[in-house]
């Protein structure tokens, strides 16, 4: 297993290096960090523009800028921001800390729901339960992420107005002032995560449950499952050890590939619920043409996507020993 993990890790390193180059070149050529400064009225003096050009390293060739950027990352320097008072490294890491707690919880909930609903729907194919799960799956699958987030936020506001109390938090990732100790702050953070997590989880659950159902149906109709039943194994043992375990392999692939879309969905969800997370950081950086901030955001996202796919490769070996011994 260790050799299998090392091989996958060695394959991931050049992919990550190539992704940093693609990210830097595409973002650097897509925007001018001096655009907001140049378009001011009255325009700034040429000395100010020249000083800002030098501070942002725009007077260097593209490849030299890339080398300085990639080597600076190892020292914790993600490059200069158009906002001279902001440290991109500390800011983007703290913002991603807020965002990834939302993504992690949403993915866990979506995976549990998808596995349970998909497996039960496959076992009880064409039953009322299967038709009901199919209906809600396609319903959530057809909803854009922003629209579902808006509906949940409005529903939370209406419930709060009806009850006359704060039942659901609809703005921000936490309250400004929270009285009490650790548990009071934890409860406040979890309370703010309810609606955004549900919004993000339902979108992912919808597609994953349909995929799990199809994968489970294919496994249930396979020869080795029929052989296990013919040997006299109980239905529960056949489902857990043979059917479900093998049906999880395709779902693992889909989950790893969907991480990028989940991160993009979190950007929209954070905007709707007014979270100061990585999504807001990205949108503000794009609006200000802050190319180094955008590059830092994309680099961290690409790193997590590659790492998550590496974890998925390792899970293949856990779910199917034939893969790690191949």
Query: What confidence tens digit (pLDDT) does each residue in 179-237 have?
Result: 777 788 888 888 889 999 999 998 888 889 888 888 888 888 877 777 777 777 777 77
All residues at 6 or more sequence positions from 30 whose CB lies less than 8 Å from its CB, including other chains: 291
Instruction: Identify the pLDDT of residue 113.
Output: 92
Instruction: Identify the pLDDT of residue 153.
Output: 92
Report the C-alpha gap between 196 and 100 in whole angstroms: 12
Report the C-alpha gap between 67 and 71 in whole angstroms: 6
pTM here? Answer: 0.82
Instruction: Identify the pLDDT of residue 326.
Output: 54
The list of the chain residues with pLDDT below 50 reads none
Instruction: Identify the pLDDT of residue 322.
Output: 62
Give me the domains of the chain, ranges plus CATH numbers: 44-288 (1.10.3720.10)
């Amino acid at each position: 297993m260790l050799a299998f993990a090392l091989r996958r890790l060695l394959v991931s390193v050049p992919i990550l290096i190539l992704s940093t180059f693609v990210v830097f070149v595409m973002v650097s050529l897509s925007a001018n960090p001096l655009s907001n400064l140049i378009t001011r009225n009255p325009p700034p003096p040429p000395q100010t523009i020249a000083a800002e050009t030098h501070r942002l390293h725009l007077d260097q060739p593209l490849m030299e800028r890339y080398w300085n950027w990639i080597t600076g990352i190892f020292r914790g320097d993600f490059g200069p921001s158009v906002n001279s008072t902001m440290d991109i490294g500390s800011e983007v890491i703290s913002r991603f800390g807020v965002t990834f707690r939302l993504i992690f919880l949403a993915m866990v909930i979506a995976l549990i729901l998808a596995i349970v609903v998909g497996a039960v729907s496959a076992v009880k194919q064409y039953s009322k339960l299967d038709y009901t799960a199919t209906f809600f799956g396609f319903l959530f699958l057809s909803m854009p992420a922003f629209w579902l987030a808006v509906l949940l936020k409005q529903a939370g506001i209406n419930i709060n107005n009806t009850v006359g109390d704060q039942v659901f938090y609809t703005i921000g990732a936490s309250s400004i002032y929270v009285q009490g100790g650790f548990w009071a702050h934890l409860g406040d953070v979890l309370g703010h995560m309810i609606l955004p997590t549900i919004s993000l989880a339902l979108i992912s659950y919808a597609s994953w449950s349909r995929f799990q159902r199809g994968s489970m149906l294919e496994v249930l109709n396979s020869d080795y499952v029929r052989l296990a039943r013919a040997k006299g194994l109980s239905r529960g043992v056949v489902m857990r050890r043979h059917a479900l375990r093998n049906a999880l392999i395709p779902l693992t692939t889909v989950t790893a590939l969907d991480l990028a879309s989940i991160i993009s969905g979190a950007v929209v969800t954070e905007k709707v619920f007014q979270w100061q997370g990585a999504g807001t950081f990205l949108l503000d950086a794009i609006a200000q043409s802050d190319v180094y901030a955008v590059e830092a955001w994309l680099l961290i996202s690409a790193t997590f996507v590659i790492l998550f796919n590496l974890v998925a490769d390792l899970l293949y070996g856990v779910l199917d020993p034939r893969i790690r011994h191949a």
